[in-house]
A = this chain, B = another copy of it.
Amino acid sequence: MPTQISHRITSNTRLHELARQLRVDSIRSTTTAGSGHPTSSMSAADLMAVLLSTYHTYDFDNPHNPNNDHLIFSKGHASPLLYAMYKAAGAITDTEMLTLRTFGSRLQGHPTPAIPWVDVATGSLGQGLPIGVGIALAGKYLDRRPYHVWVLCGDSELAEGSIWEALDKAAYYGLANLTAIWDINRLGQRGETDLGWNTAAYRQRAEAFGWHAQVIDGHDLAAIDAALATARDTTGKPTVIIARTIKGKGFSEIADKNGWHGRALPPDMAERAITELGGLLDVRVAVTKPEPGESAATDASVEVALPTYELGALVATRKAYGDALAALGARADVVAMDGEVSNSTHADEFAHAYPDRFFEMFIAEEQLVAAAVGMSVRGYIPFASTFAAFFSRAYDFIRMAAISGANIRLVGSHAGVEIGQDGPSQMALEDLAALRAIHGSTVLYPCDGASGAKLTAVMADTRGVVYLRTTRGAYPVIYGPAEPFTVGGSKAVRSSPDDKVALIGAGVTLHTCLAVADALAQEGVPARVIDLYSVKPVDREALREAARITGGRLVVVEDHYPQGGLGAAVMEALAAEESPPRIAHCAVQGLPGSGQPQELMDAAGIGRDHVITVARALLTTERTGSG
Q: Chain A residues in contact with chain B, CB under 8 A?
A: 33-36, 76, 101-106, 108-110, 112, 114, 121-126, 156-157, 159-165, 168-169, 172, 188-191, 193-194, 201, 204-205, 207-210, 340-344, 348, 360, 362-367, 389-390, 392-393, 395-396, 399-400, 402-403, 421-426, 429-430, 433-434, 436-440, 536, 560-565, 567-569, 571-572, 575-585, 591, 593-596, 599-600, 603, 621-622, 624-625
Contact = CB atoms under 8 A, between A and B. Distances in A.
Given A207-B208, A437-B564, A563-B436, A593 B108 contact: yes
How many copies of this chain?
2
A580 B582 contact: yes
Contacts of A188: 340, 362-363
Contact of A585 (B102, B436, B575): B575
A487 to B, nearest CB: 16
A387 B536 CA distance: 27
A393 B396 CA distance: 5
A265 to B, nearest CB: 16
A331 B456 CA distance: 54
23 contacts: A101-B594, A103-B596, A103-B600, A108-B424, A110-B423, A112-B593, A123-B423, A125-B363, A159-B165, A159-B362, A159-B363, A161-B367, A168-B194, A189-B340, A189-B343, A392-B395, A393-B396, A399-B430, A429-B439, A430-B437, A430-B438, A437-B560, A536-B563
Nearest to A577: B582
A522 to B, nearest CB: 25
Given A395-B393, A426-B123, A205 B194 contact: no
A160 B564 contact: no
Nearest to A209: B205
Nearest to A389: B124
A152 to B, nearest CB: 16
Given A392-B395, A600-B103, A440 B621 contact: no
Contacts of A193: 362
B583 A575 contact: yes
Contacts of A125: 363
A512 to B, nearest CB: 18
B581 A580 contact: yes
A76 B207 CA distance: 30
Contacts of A122: 425
Given A160-B161, A188-B363, 14 more contacts: A36-B421, A105-B594, A112-B423, A112-B424, A114-B593, A123-B424, A159-B165, A395-B396, A433-B436, A437-B563, A568-B568, A572-B585, A575-B583, A578-B582
A594 B108 contact: yes
A403 B425 contact: yes
A582 B593 contact: no
Contact of A572 (B105, B571, B600): B571
Nearest to A419: B109
Contacts of A208: 201, 204-205, 207-208
A340 B576 CA distance: 42
Contact of A103 (B162, B571, B583, B595): B595
A194 B362 contact: yes
Contact of A400 (B157, B425, B567): B425
B561 A156 contact: no
Sorted from nearest, which 8 A-B pairs have the closest CB atoms?
A161-B161, A123-B425, A103-B595, A564-B564, A433-B437, A430-B437, A571-B571, A164-B164
A298 to B, nearest CB: 25
Given A109-B426, A123-B422, A591-B403, A362 B156 contact: yes
Contacts of A201: 208, 210
Tell me which of A105, A164, A367, A584 has the highest count of chain B C-beta atoms within 10 A of its own C-beta. Answer: A164
A575 B567 CA distance: 10
A593 B109 CA distance: 8
A160 B162 CA distance: 8
Contacts of A576: 582-585
Contacts of A363: 125-126, 156-157, 159-160, 188
A210 B591 CA distance: 39
Given A104-B595, A124-B389, A161 B156 contact: no
Contacts of A600: 103
Nearest to A403: B424
A156 to B, nearest CB: 5
Contacts of A205: 205, 208-209
Nearest to A76: B425
A426 B396 CA distance: 11
A146 B227 CA distance: 48
A177 to B, nearest CB: 19
Contacts of A109: 421-423, 426, 594
B423 A108 contact: yes
Contacts of A108: 423-424, 593-594
Given A124-B425, A194-B172, A403-B591, A578 B621 contact: yes
A215 B41 CA distance: 43
B564 A433 contact: yes
B421 A101 contact: yes
